[in-house]
Structures are given as structure tokens and as C-alpha cells.
Amino acid sequence: MGQVDVSAPKADVTWPHAATLVLAAETPRQRRWAVGTTIEIVRKLAERRPKVVLADLQTRTPSSLAAALGTDEAPGMVDVLFRGAAFSAVASRPQSEVFYFLPIGTAPPPLQVLYQHPRWGKIATRLAQADAHFLLCVSAQDWLEAGPIAGFEACITLNASGLEVELPGQARRLVEFLAPPEIREGQAGMLELPWYAAAEPETQPMPSSARRAAHHPEMGPDVQPELGRPGAPRGRAQRQPGAGSAAWAGPTTVPAGRGRGKGRGRRGILPIAAFAAAAALLLTVYMTIGSRQVPEDPGYLEAAADTGQVTASTVSAAEREGEGARLQEETLPYSVLIASFSSYDDALARQREWTRADLPFYVAPTPVRGIVYYRVFAGMLADRERAGELMAQLVRERIKDTVRDWDVRPARLAFSFGVYSSSGEARALLETLFAQGVPAYIVPAAADDGIAYHVFAGGYERPEDARPLKEQLRRAGLDVELVERVGLVLP
């Protein structure tokens, strides 16, 4: 099953006899929602099934689940597993409830010992024979560290934080319940950001990375599929194909870029003045276009385009033809994963908060075990070492919580929407794509007469990771190619 975005979950999933409820919450408010939703789920299941037992295996004390049910933290599951206590002696029916409840019990052992006890498998087998349902309540952090529990691999996640809920190996997610925005937005560690990094969310609805240094279930060797760079030569800005072509099948009229009819041509040695002007132009591009993908108003876009045009005019095309050397592009295969969200709106809001003049952020919808998460990445870098330096910088600035090698992600593949000779043309396409729910961004590109603007969407290690965005593009009527992401580097 996929994600369910609800504030009052329904118990209409196919429930196994043994399952785990995984609570992902970071703030007291989020924990209250997760606990209340857990009780509501179990209560609705118990209304239709005569034998339902909820066991609390959360290690946080005092138990918020026991407090919400009005029960004492008495002997419980630990005493059943390790001290020979009978279920009938420790299970109780909370007042006004129709299900039974077991607390974690007294003096629990380490998680690995508790979760790996051999009796779990026997308990799960007997549940099916008795037509009973036994639900274990755990925290997402404990579950990732020591889970899953034998026989209880099927799990239901209650995502109060909106971040990607990582699961241990062999765990099988049945469904995910997502807290409403007013609960998710009260996340811990919200940063006080400069005025230019703040923006109100203004997104199109679409169906975390856990904040801890742990091994991610997706971790594996880098895969480098043999895909070509964007097909057109880099002589000039690439013309955007017409509405009837294979590369652009959308119903929306989009401004076309200029053709790339000629080759690179010969160049001399770039003088210091021209080099400085090119460097200033590149910085201006990132400040005005590359870093803020969805400006708050059209006026900002117009100002950005005007600034780029003025800067570009400091060195004429004729001067560059006779004196300059063409700026060089290279692949940009690495980005730093900052966080993953269950909600597109949440991811885009965070991207807007974190983005700044000297560092672009972008959003890439990515499947993780059948659930689509919206990952927020920082930067587009040519090598892993520089990406690691950026990650350390983001941790120092408190934008990212921890340094974790896995978070330097291979992201060399992106959907290309063409290269444009002016920022105005690229900006118009960007607006059109965002209106269709496609989180696109601009990367500076090389052109004979200076700098062009390449519009991309996504950032992926493998083609299969790009399927959710590819499907989104297909629904929008856009047929574009997945290519190696390339960008401008100074000579």
C-alpha cells in the first residue's frame, strides 16, 4: 500500500495478525498526535475484531501511551518474555476501551536483546491460530536500530514529522499515516534564517531523512548507467523542440531557445579582464536565477533577468570572439541530501527556507520501498570530496544535523528541458513547469557568446529512481530525456 494523507486514519487496511506500529515524531505535539492516532487505529480495529492486544515497546519513559490510556506502568511485555509472566496476568483492558494493553514492563533489556527474543516468532504463529491481532508500538528510531521483530515485520508508520521514515531490513510497510500540516510544521530545530532565505510555500499539491547517523537501507554501490550527455553540441543555446516533437509534447506554449547550429569555433587565450567578467557573471547567475527556483513575484524574475543581461554586456561578443576562451562544462554528479519529506509542499517550503544566494537547493521525488518521498538536496558538485566539504559546512551552519557519508548522494541523472540563451526564456519555462507541479531548476551552461541557462528537474543515481517524476511529467504531457547533468565551470 502507499501513503495515506489523513488526520483521522481509518482501520480499513488488511490487518495481519501480527504487526508493528512505528511512531515517527520529534516534538511533544507530534508525539501526542502519533499516540492519539495509534489509539484511534487500535480502537477501530477492535470494534471489528474481538481479540486485539496493543503492546507498548517504546523505551521513552514515562510512557505517553500508558498515560493516554490511563493505565499504570506495571509489569508487561518484558516480564512475559524474560520472567515467565502470563499474558492474562499483565494484560489489562483500559477503561472504556475494547482492546487489551500491555506496557513494556519493568527494567527492559537492551533493544537488540528485547527484539531478538525467540518467543516473538512463536507468539506470531499462535495469533493466527487464535484469530487474534497483536500490535506492537515502537519508536521509529528504536525500530531502525534494532528491528524488525521476527513475525512482526509488517508495519504501519504514523508519520508525525513529515520526514522520511527509514525502515530496517526485512521490514514491510503496509501503509503510512501522515499527520496534517499544522502538526508537521511544528518540527524541532527550526532555524532562524536570513530574510532572503525565507519564503511562504506556494506549491501545487502532490502525493525523512531520519535525523540521525545510521546506515540507510538503500545504501549500496554507485551505479553509473551508460547515458549520454544532452544530445546537442555545446556551441550555442539549444533550441527547445516544437509542440509536436518527441522532446516537448506538452499543451502549454513555452518560449523556444535559440538554435545551436554552429560548432565551438576557435578561441584565443582569455585575458584577465574577461575572466573576471565571466566569474562575476557566473556569480550573478547563481544569485539571481540558480538559487531561488520559485520567486515570490514576477517582478523578482524580471529583475533577475535584467541583472544577468547587464552583467553579460560588460564584455561584448565580438571581444570574446577575438580574445576569449569558451567556458567549460562538466558533469555535476553529486549533491548533499539534507532531508526527505512525505509531502511535496513541506519539501518545497524547506527548500525555500534553506536556499540562499550562493547555494542552490532542489527537490527530487524519489521512491523508497514503495513510498514516494520528496528529497531536498543542496548543491550540484563535480566530485565527492567537494560535496563532503559542503556537507560539513551545512552542519556548521546548522542547516544539516549530522555529517553522514551516505548523504553525499550520486545524482548525475536529471531530466533536461533544454538550454536557453537568456534567463528570461529559462525563467518562463521554469514558471510553466512549477505550475504543472514539476520542481525544476536552472544550471548555468556554456555558450559561444557567454552563459546560457539549462533547465533541469530531479537528480538521481539510477534511472529507476526517476520513475515517479517521469510519471509526473507524462501526466503533464511532457516527454523529455533523462541525461547526465552538466553545468558551467570556469577555465
Contact at 8 Å (CB) between 156 and 175?
Answer: yes
Q: Which of 192-196, 209-213, 452-456 has the lowest mean pLDDT?
A: 192-196
Residues pairing with 452 in the sheet: 445
Residues pairing with 23 in the sheet: 139, 158
C-alpha 469/C-alpha 416 separation (Å) is 12
pLDDT confidence tier of residue 416, bands split at 50, 70 and 90: very high
Task: Say which residue the cell 514558471 belongs to.
Answer: 431
pLDDT confidence tier of residue 67, bands split at 50, 70 and 90: confident
> Which one, of 96, 99, 86, 20, lies nearest residue 58 by Cα?
20
Predicted local confidence at residue 135, as pLDDT: 92
C-alpha 206/C-alpha 228 separation (Å) is 30
Sign, Cα dihedral of 191, 196, 197, 199: positive
Spell out the residues 6+ positions from residue 91 whose beta carbon is closer than 8 angstroms to its own: 53, 100, 101, 102
Which residue has better confidence, 50 or 246?
50
| pLDDT tens per residue across span 447-488 | 887 889 999 999 999 999 999 999 999 988 898 999 999 998
Predicted local confidence at residue 198, as pLDDT: 27
Which residue has better confidence, 233 or 156?
156
Residues pairing with 133 in the sheet: 52
> Which one, of 270, 282, 265, lies nearest residue 325 by Cα?
270
| pLDDT tens per residue across span 255-272 | 333 333 333 333 333 344
Sign, Cα dihedral of 295, 301, 303, 305: positive
Q: Domain extents for the chain?
A: 3-184, 191-216+225-491
> Which one, of 145, 124, 118, lies nearest residue 58 by Cα?
145
Q: Which of 45-49, 57-61, 241-245, 352-356 has the lowest mean pLDDT?
A: 241-245
Please report, as a single letter, which amino acid is at residue 249.
Answer: A
C-alpha 209/C-alpha 222 separation (Å) is 19
pLDDT confidence tier of residue 8, bands split at 50, 70 and 90: very low
pLDDT confidence tier of residue 122, bands split at 50, 70 and 90: confident
Residue 331 sits at φ, ψ, to 5 deg, of -65, 150
| pLDDT tens per residue across span 132-171 | 899 999 999 888 888 899 899 999 999 998 888 888 888 8
Predicted local confidence at residue 451, as pLDDT: 86
pLDDT at position 211 over 70: no
pLDDT at position 64 over 90: no
Cα–Cα distances in Å, from 412 out to 224, 227, 336?
Answer: 9, 10, 12
* DSSP 8-class letter at 92: B
pLDDT confidence tier of residue 325, bands split at 50, 70 and 90: low
* DSSP 8-class letter at 356: B
C-alpha 121/C-alpha 256 separation (Å) is 63
Cα–Cα distances in Å, from 139 out to 6, 13, 348?
Answer: 20, 21, 27
Contact at 8 Å (CB) between 102 and 80?
Answer: yes
Predicted local confidence at residue 454, as pLDDT: 93
pLDDT at position 346 over 60: yes
Residues pairing with 56 in the sheet: 137
Q: pTM of whole model > 0.85?
A: no
CB atoms within 10 A of CB 382: 15
Predicted local confidence at residue 446, as pLDDT: 86
Max Cα-Cα span within the chain: 91
Average pLDDT of the chain to the nearest whole number: 72
Contact at 8 Å (CB) between 168 and 22?
Answer: no
User: What is the topology classification, in CATH, of domain 3-184?
Assistant: Rossmann fold (3.40.50)
Sign, Cα dihedral of 485, 459, 377, 405: negative
Task: Say which residue the cell 494493553 belongs to.
Answer: 101
Residue 317 DSSP SS3: helix
Cell of 73: 506502568
Residue 437 sits at φ, ψ, to 5 deg, of 80, 20
